[in-house]
A and B are shown apart, each in its own frame.
Chain A
Amino acid sequence: MTPFAKLNSPSELDALKRKAISAISGCATRVLVCGGTGCMASGSPKVLEALQSALEKHSVPVRADIMNEEDEAAISIGYSGCPGYCQVGPIVRILPADYFYTHVKPEDAEEIVTQTVLGGQPVQRLLFNDGSESYATRDDLPFYKDQVNVVLADCGVVEPGDIRDYISRDGYRALAEALYGLTPEAVVAEVTESGLRGRGGAGFSTGRKWGFTQVVKSDKKYVVCNADEGDPGAFMDESIMEGNPHALLEGMAIAGYAIGADEGYIYVRAEYPLAIERLRTAISQAEQAGLLGDRILGGPFSFHIRIKEGAGAFVCGEETALISSIEGQRGMPRPKPPFPANSGLWGKPTVVNNVETFANVSKIILNGAEWFRSFGIESSPGTKVFALTGDVVNTGLIEVPMGTTVGDVVFKIGGGIRTGKAFKAVQIGGPSGACLTEEHLDLPLDYDSLRSVGAMVGSGGLVVMDESTCMVEIARFFMSFTQKESCGKCVLCREGTRRMLDILTRIVSGRGKVEDIDLLEELALTVRDGSLCGLGKSAPNPVISTLKHFRDEYLAHIVDGVCPAGECDAFKTYSIIEEKCRGCGLCAKKCPADAISGEIKKPYVINADLCIKCGACADACKFEAVTLG
């Protein structure tokens, strides 16, 4: 990227924007290869390489720097952020036609260059096909049809490594407007008016939080971005940081101006190396452009952003633990009050918001609170990004207006159950969330509706489960996660999660006792009500909600000795498939419990009463005649 001068006023920002637009429009074709973690893992760097060599082979002049208007080449190629539809990656998009190629392999490069780049025609076989028809452009795809993209609007289109691309899309204009057109109070008022609620979990009003911090008098204040996205399977924030890092930086700078802070921290997990790299690039470019650092846009406001890498502790997503971690202390939550708004990082007033929250801010300043309120519902305006995974046809990152029903997400956007089996439940809010069942399909996804059924938005994980999922096992699985990630500070969380895990493990391994259910429930409610921080208070949610909706399954494990979903190994029995058995007798020789009997050259039989389920027979059989079911 060619260096450019520091911007000293909003008009210079506008000039750069016009220049960037004109430069980009001079590029007849843009080839965007998804550079999100998912696509990169499934091979997009090789695809990019292949496309570049194909272009070279055909002597197609490529514009090295898209912003270089003097370059006569009219084709550009590079990475984009994640468009969300990870299931069909690696994804390649060709602008301006917006052909959306899926499952692209390096061998497809030649055809893409000759047919699309040079010929202007789509490669039919690379377009998304749902079995009945294929869809040429992104917006045609069923996955996107019911989505509304506010936060992710530029993700997947904007080049994350070039600030000018962001600027060409009104980037940093909200910051300029705030600095030159609004008082800090007016910024807080606008954000409050928009009804934006924290996207990290609890859903507290962002504007009010800023307001509390703004009114506290202090020589130093901080803006902290919680990018410690720890829920397994969640990658909403990662995607924003990788795909559109400037949206986060701009939101933080606006927050800094609003509360009177000159320093911000992004606490990002070290497991997001790409996000960290892109953030570092973005910060350095923004500083070079005078959009971060000292005297932003030539005015009196200065704001510096630092990155603090977290070492991968789930509890550091809790704001007080996160603050301790930035300070170099062990990441353990502390009691509130005092709230960070009064005493946060190094004891100074601090605003802590998550990535998605900050990424909404510039849009609100630019388009107004009323515009923002046009999305979603009255009590929860705006959109929410979810990571949709599990047994659905379409998995990936989705953004929907708050208030979209569970059913619409699972069946319209998610395309229904992949396995053809019946829908059973959706786990929402990660390991400390709750499960929603068929009776909740019409439940709107918003803070208050979810809370009313004992669930929470959390950071936005949605795991869809079909009927073959054992709900006790699900509860055990999530409990094993929260137990390992408990910081161990407060008694109820540390010991309570461990004991809940003990009981759940006992039940799924067939050793459950009838009194276990009452003890588990008592424990779950106690830990929920008595724990120190959000982790402990929410850790029992999977237990509480599965006990509420699937108590029968617990009872079946304990009383009837069966796992109704057929998932738990402890309840399965080994048997020999008659047709496959050659009667060699090896299994009977290996069985340590003498549970297998039979005559040579005739099918053998396992006596289930004697079987200890060690699996030695299955390992020994060369004909795959032993099954577990």
Chain B
Amino acid sequence: MENLILKLKEEIIEVLNLEDVKPADIDENAPLFGEGLGLDSIDALELIVLMEKNYGIKLKDPAQGKEIFKSVRFLAEYIAENRTK
């Protein structure tokens, strides 16, 4: 799980162009949205694309995102349980 969390942090930094952020700067237990990284709705859409592209997970219900994107750890746990690639 810790390896997946680190990989996710690196992917998030890359796809969201968080140039000045290092993986260690992201608290895996902190909310992804609303504070901290300052992500916006476009970033949320980009994370949904990331999940499908890299892990084969297609979110059918957008409301799921609210739960899954609570934190990097939540996201990692969801991916670990649902990934198809």
Q: Do A and B interact? A: no
Partner-A contacts on B (CB < 8 A): none
Partner-B contacts on A (CB < 8 A): none
